[in-house]
Amino acid sequence: MKITFFRFFFILLAGGAVIPSFLAASPATTTGAFEKPVLNFTIKKKDAEPDKACYDFQGIGQKIHWNDKIVDVILQGYLKIDAERSILEITSGNITIDGAISHDFSLYLVYSDKLATITYFKTKELILSGAIDFSKNAFLNLDVDIRGINLEDFNKLWGIENFPFEGDFRGKISLKGDVNSILIQGFLEAYHGNLEGYKYEKVFLMFKGTYPWIRFSDSYASIQGFGFNIEGTFNVARLYDLPYDKVGQSPDLPPIRFFDETEQNMIVADSVKGFLALPSSHNLLVYKLDTDSFLRLTPKESIFPKAAPTLEF
């Protein structure tokens, strides 16, 4: 049994902490402790059938430094190993960031011949399932079911404080293919939020592409009571590198920035209402995100008849 994957997995959970090689330990109970960060694992070997090994484990990682954050991790579960496969189940897990943001999670994973099959990685906000091939020809086949995430809280995990898009969102995303050419497709719905300070009732984005590029189609939005059809192209790798105006630096909200495709000139509107009040020749405008990333907005004749649902977290 090769344990490289499991070492990698625990390193991932602990945010880069050094993991003890407890899987090779012979005592029934083993404890390893490390400083800066502090990582303590207690593993108890259980009675098992011949050619099988079973372990119960509990783990606590403290003061783990990750992305300028302090992370604490608590794990509890079991590990089963035989000649053909290994099963890792985390029955109870928790990650706490900066002593404030806390997430409970659970995991069931089967590892065999460099293929990790994730039956589920589950939190209150999402469920991830699928497979990851760790062989020379590595590939992904993952599905993410986002049940409800607050975008502002999500961005705080990555140290982003002034991302211009706020709100609660849900959706489904699939990642498939070779790690060098991953196919991304799915949809996202966002409700009751702000885009650079302008309130939207609903944004629905359908997308598909090969990383890092995705294309939006059959998408729409309702912003301050006005409806828009949306198309566009986006570089996912530059999601947090785009030159956004940062709301909050000034008491005055930044203007919405549009680009006229026909005249190749920047058009500035103080509000969505101001945008719609522009001459009719400007009924197809592009919201520039970057040199190659944009959203094309076409005003709709009517807004959506159904009220946006309330997402519960």
pLDDT tens digits for 201-255? 899 999 999 998 999 999 999 887 788 899 989 888 876 665 443 333 333 445 6
Same domain, 109 and 142: no
Confirm whether 131 is domain-assigned: no
Q: Which residues contact 309 (CB under 8 A, 6 or more apart)?
A: 191
pLDDT of residue 241: 61
Mean pLDDT of 262-285: 62
User: Which string of DSSP letters, residue by residue, matches the chain?
Assistant: ---HHHHHHHHHHHTS-----GGG--SSEEEE--TTTEEEEEEEEEP--TT-EEEEEEEEEEEEEETTEEEEEEEEEEEEE-SS-EEEEEEEEEEEETTTEEEEEEEEEEEETTEEEEEEEEESSEEEEEEEE-STT-EEEEEEEEEEEEHHHHHHTTT----SEEEEEEEEEEEEEETTS-EEEEEEEEEEEEETTEEEEEEEEEEEEETTEEEEEEEEEEETTEEEEEEEEEEGGGTTTS----TTSSSSPPPEEEEETTTTEEEEESSHHHHHTS-GGGSSEEEESSSS-EEEEEE-SS--SSPPPPP--
Of residues 67 and 252, more confidence is placed in: 67
User: Which structural domain range is residue 260 located in?
Assistant: 137-313
Binned at pLDDT 50, 70 and 90, residue 87 comes out as very high
Confirm whether 51 is domain-assigned: yes
Q: Is the pLDDT of residue 24 over 50?
A: no
- Number of domains the chain is built from: 2
- Residue-averaged pLDDT of the chain: 75
Of residues 136 and 7, more confidence is placed in: 136
Q: Is the pLDDT of residue 277 over 70?
A: no
Token digits of residue 130: 């699928």
Confirm whether 266 is domain-assigned: yes
Instruction: For residues 250 and 44, give the distance between their C-alpha atoms in angstroms, rounded to a whole number.
Output: 57
Confirm whether 150 is domain-assigned: yes
Distance of CA 49 to the CA centre of its chain: 40
Same domain, 106 and 177: no
Confirm whether 285 is domain-assigned: yes
**Looking at 100, 123, 146, which one is the last position of a domain?**
123
Give pTM, 2 decimals.
0.74
Same domain, 270 and 299: yes
Of residues 84 and 249, more confidence is placed in: 84
Of residues 259 and 116, more confidence is placed in: 116
Token digits of residue 113: 């011949």
pLDDT of residue 280: 56
CA distances from 117 to 8, 69, 87, 108, 223 (A): 15, 30, 10, 9, 41
CB 215 within 8 A of CB 159: no
**Looking at 76, 99, 123, which one is the last position of a domain?**
123
Mean pLDDT of 285-309: 65
User: Phi and psi for 265 in degrees, rounded to 5?
Assistant: -125, 145
Q: What is the pLDDT of residues 94-129, one digit of tens each?
A: 988 877 677 899 999 999 999 999 999 999 999 999
Same domain, 206 and 68: no
Mean pLDDT of 252-263: 58
Q: Is the pLDDT of residue 17 over 70?
A: no
pLDDT of residue 14: 39
Same domain, 311 and 244: yes
Same domain, 118 and 172: no
Same domain, 158 and 82: no
Of residues 191 and 309, more confidence is placed in: 191
Same domain, 146 and 103: no
Same domain, 177 and 291: yes
Q: What percent of the chain has pLDDT over 90?
A: 32
**Looking at 123, 146, 177, which one is the last position of a domain?**
123
Same domain, 150 and 119: no
Same domain, 277 and 210: yes
Confirm whether 128 is domain-assigned: no
Confirm whether 92 is domain-assigned: yes
Same domain, 158 and 304: yes
Confirm whether 130 is domain-assigned: no
pLDDT of residue 295: 80
